[in-house]
Structure 1
């Protein structure tokens, strides 16, 4: 059985207190799932909260590995006079397992470009964490038929300095921008086509065949089973549907179905 991944990206939601309550609700449910022998081997679960939440959740998790912490971002330099920023090494020092890189909201609002994202990936790897690289096309690119070219450029220009061995450590999350938080979901054919295309780029350009490719974009308990059943979909990067513990557990069960 190939490993499956599920990431709850909380974005800028929840106070620290609300985050603690969520985890207190979630962890017993994960313990109930554990007898199925899934959490530590066949399924990798992650929560990506605000920077502020990370220490409190890390303290709750302790040594258990049923769910791991991701950061939503890190700075592209190792350290320096960058007020308000957080380095990869800082995140690794509190037990964070990986970092989301290149989410469409940061590309859009913070104007993060491919060279910057390439530097961030390097910093995450240097800190001993796993990069979770996001890619996906805009609505304009989809409508014009340039969606594949846009995703290929994102991959090639952001992974340009990586060796095949480094690329093998990545997780790729395909997120069509027009489907994020809109309620619109790519069709199963569109999802399968793009995941197959991304797989081809990784294989043909880098000689890498085992990188997990996740889907993100208005995925919820109602459509999750169908999406997770598509070829080359190794799991999901979940936004709104990850904000309630019961909903998140439903997504886990859909992934295991």
Structure 2
């Protein structure tokens, strides 16, 4: 089974009308993608986009967040059970913007991961270091701690359901991209860490995405690295031509 994937994180962009048009255009440009393609859309668009991709084996939808509780008096929040009932397959958790703007830490993210897995959602877990950490060459320590805390108390069977997205914070939305060597180095470290904690079979099957200014002109060389299984794409996922080119950069196994 291929572990490749290209996921687009639209963040707080596109109206429902624009989002529907964008999905249709991408699917028209790449009707039979060589990999799993996930649209990470604003909450208001989840139902409409899920309806568009329903029945297409290689297209799916991700929520950009969810609440850690099953239900309750949490105005404005969305539960894992609501997402599953709507046919949503994935949820993005731990994104650096949620950490920075909403104060989410890996203890909370761990609770969200557990809740998602219990409900039947597949988390796309984001981790990555800031520039000062990279400059001090402490990226493995920081990312390792993020993963260790976020995956605390999880079984190997649960971890096998998770997609990891390595996103160096210094490369998100900046136009700066990690070199293919930097990306491969961190992805190799993450896979070895997963193997040590949860077993080699889990590590070999795990999808590890690179996120951080992925564009059509760098996607192919990034995705050619042995431990880079695809990308979590930000700005380029909002342009159908660019996103289609990134999807096509994946080489079928």
**TM-score, normalised with respect to structure 2:** 0.95
1:59-78 aligned within 5 A: 59-78=51-70
Which residue does 1:84 correspond to in 2?
A: 76
* Residue of structure 1 equivalent to 2:193: 201
1:14 is aligned to 14
Alignment-derived partner of residue 25 in structure 1? 25
Determine if contact 1:100/1:134 at 8 Å carries over to the other structure: yes
* Alpha-carbon distance in structure 2 between the residues aligned to 1:158 and 1:61: 30
Deviation at 1:71, TM superposition (A): 0.5
Deviation string, structure 1 residues 73-101 (Cα, Å, up to 9, x no partner): 00011111111111111111111001011
Counterparts of 1:239-254 in structure 2 under 5 Å?
A: 239-254=234-249
Runs of 5+ in structure 2 lacking a partner?
none
- 50, 56, 60: which one pairs with 1:58? 50
**Match for 1:151 among 121, 140, 143?**
143
Q: Aligned match of 2:231 in 220, 232, 236?
A: 236
Q: CA RMSD in A?
A: 1.3
Matches for 1:155-234 after TM superposition, within 5 Å: 155-207=147-199, 208-209=202-203, 210-234=205-229
Query: Which has the larger displacement, 56-65 or 122-131?
Result: 56-65
CA contact (8 A) 1:76 1:123 kept: yes
Range with bigger deviation, 55-64 or 242-251 = 55-64
Q: Aligned residue for 1:106?
A: 98
Residue-pair matches, total: 249
Using CA pairs below 8 Å that are at least 6 residues apart, which structure has the higher relative contact order?
2
The 8 Å contact of residues 101 and 120 in structure 1, kept in 2 or not, is answered as: yes
* Secondary structure at the counterpart of residue 48 of structure 1: strand
Q: What's the offset of the Cα at 1:30? A: 2.6
- Give CA-to-partner distance per residue, 1:83-140, whole Å, 9 cap, x none: 1111111111111001011011101111101110000001111111111111101111
Kindly provide the CA deviation profile for residues 50-93 of structure 1, in whole angstroms up to 9, marking residues without a partner as x: 00011111222332333100001000111111111111111111
Counterpart for residue 137 of structure 1: 129
- Unpaired segments of 5 or more residues in structure 1? none
Partners of 2:227 and 2:53 lie apart in 1 by 31
8 A Cα contact 1:118 1:160, kept in partner: yes
Deviations 1:172-216 (A, max 9, x none): 100000000000111111111111110111001221322111100
Asked if structure 1 preserves the Cα contact closer than 8 Å seen for 2:209 and 2:229, the reply is yes
Contact kept? 1:8, 1:47, Cα under 8 Å: yes
1:2 deviation in Å?
A: 3.3
TM-score by length of 1: 0.93
